[in-house]
């Protein structure tokens, strides 16, 4: 996976320094970390890399890199939680000339506290491992790019309803067609769905090797049961 630019990390580091004095309020003990993790993947994973969540977003800062440095500087989990919650409420623009930045209050209330506590518990922790995902390497790319929040795919264990059910539409497509659907989603809009919902940036944000794994996984496993792809092929299911 590609990584955010040094400029993004430096900007985020400045934001950490600016709000670290606010600290945390030890809310982590009352937070629902499972809910926080699920919300992070659904709401934040497309933009941020976080190993424990298995996300590889590159639009925003790599949270592992940013908070590893913060931990090295002595920042504890409670302070990191406060920093994350402040960033959720009042995000810092990475470039004043670029309107593409994190919107404020992407999650609110208890959900924001859960996300902040979750990130504080895992971001930049030495040796932390990503979760395992159904579908082997291709299934991991599917999960890391948050495809399951929009699409149902039995092999990936996902049930998203924003976009087409991939078990219904992909078995009739070859790999070239599937890749086009990913990198140029406006080229062929599925009946009943609107243009502009699926991001058109995956051709840039997904590493070519990962894109190949994803396409192969979808071509082999769409319409098959969970477990397909875990041994390098689509024979299960």
Q: What is the CATH number of the domain that holds 150?
A: 1.10.760.10
Q: Is residue 233 pLDDT above 70, yes or no?
A: no
E-only strand ranges, the chain: 49-50, 55-56, 152-153, 158-159
Task: Compute the average pLDDT of residues 143-172.
Answer: 92
* pLDDT band (50, 70, 90) for residue 6: very low
Shared-domain flag, residues 48 and 115: yes
In a domain, 216, yes or no: yes
Q: Is residue 221 pLDDT above 80, yes or no?
A: yes
Q: Is residue 4 pLDDT above 70, yes or no?
A: no
Shared-domain flag, residues 20 and 118: yes
Q: What is the tens place of the pLDDT at every residue in 108-126?
A: 999 999 999 999 999 999 9
* pLDDT band (50, 70, 90) for residue 98: low
E-only strand ranges, 75-210: 152-153, 158-159
Shared-domain flag, residues 112 and 142: no
Shared-domain flag, residues 109 and 157: no
Supply the mean pLDDT for the chain: 84
Shared-domain flag, residues 74 and 150: no
Q: What is the tens place of the pLDDT at every residue in 161-170?
A: 999 999 999 9
164: number of Cβ within 10 Å: 20
Shared-domain flag, residues 117 and 140: no
The pLDDT score that the predictor gives to residue 171 is: 95
* pLDDT band (50, 70, 90) for residue 237: very low
Shared-domain flag, residues 141 and 168: yes
In a domain, 127, yes or no: no
Task: Compute the average pLDDT of residues 191-219.
Answer: 92
| Residue numbers of the domain that contains 200 | 136-221
Shared-domain flag, residues 12 and 96: yes
In a domain, 131, yes or no: no
Shared-domain flag, residues 105 and 197: no
Q: Report the predicted TM-score, pTM, of the whole model to 2 decimal places.
A: 0.64
Q: Is residue 220 pLDDT above 50, yes or no?
A: yes
> Pick from 122, 144, 170: which residue ends a domain?
122
Q: Is residue 194 pLDDT above 50, yes or no?
A: yes
């Amino acid at each position: 996976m590609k990584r955010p630019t040094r400029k993004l990390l430096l900007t985020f580091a400045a934001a950490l320094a600016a709000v670290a004095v606010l600290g945390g309020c030890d809310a982590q003990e009352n937070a629902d970390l499972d809910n926080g993790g699920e919300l992070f993947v659904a709401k934040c994973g497309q933009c941020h890399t976080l190993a424990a969540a298995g996300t590889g977003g590159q639009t925003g800062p790599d949270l592992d890199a940013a908070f590893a440095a913060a931990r090295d500087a002595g920042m504890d989990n409670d302070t990191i939680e406060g920093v994350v919650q402040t960033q959720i409420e009042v995000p810092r623009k990475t470039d004043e000339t670029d309107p593409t930045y994190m919107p404020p209050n992407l999650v609110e209330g208890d959900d924001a506290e859960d996300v902040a506590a979750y990130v504080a518990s895992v971001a930049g922790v030495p040796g932390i491992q990503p979760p395992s995902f159904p579908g082997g390497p291709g299934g991991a790319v599917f999960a890391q790019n948050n495809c399951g929040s929009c699409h149902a795919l039995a092999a990936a264990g996902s049930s998203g309803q924003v976009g087409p059910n991939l078990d219904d539409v992909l078995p009739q497509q070859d790999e070239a067609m599937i890749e086009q659907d990913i990198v140029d989603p406006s080229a062929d809009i599925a009946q009943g769905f609107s243009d502009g919902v699926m991001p058109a940036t995956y051709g840039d944000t997904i590493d070519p090797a990962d894109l190949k794994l994803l396409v192969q996984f979808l071509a082999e496993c769409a319409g098959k049961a969970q477990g397909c792809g875990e041994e390098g092929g689509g024979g299960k299911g």
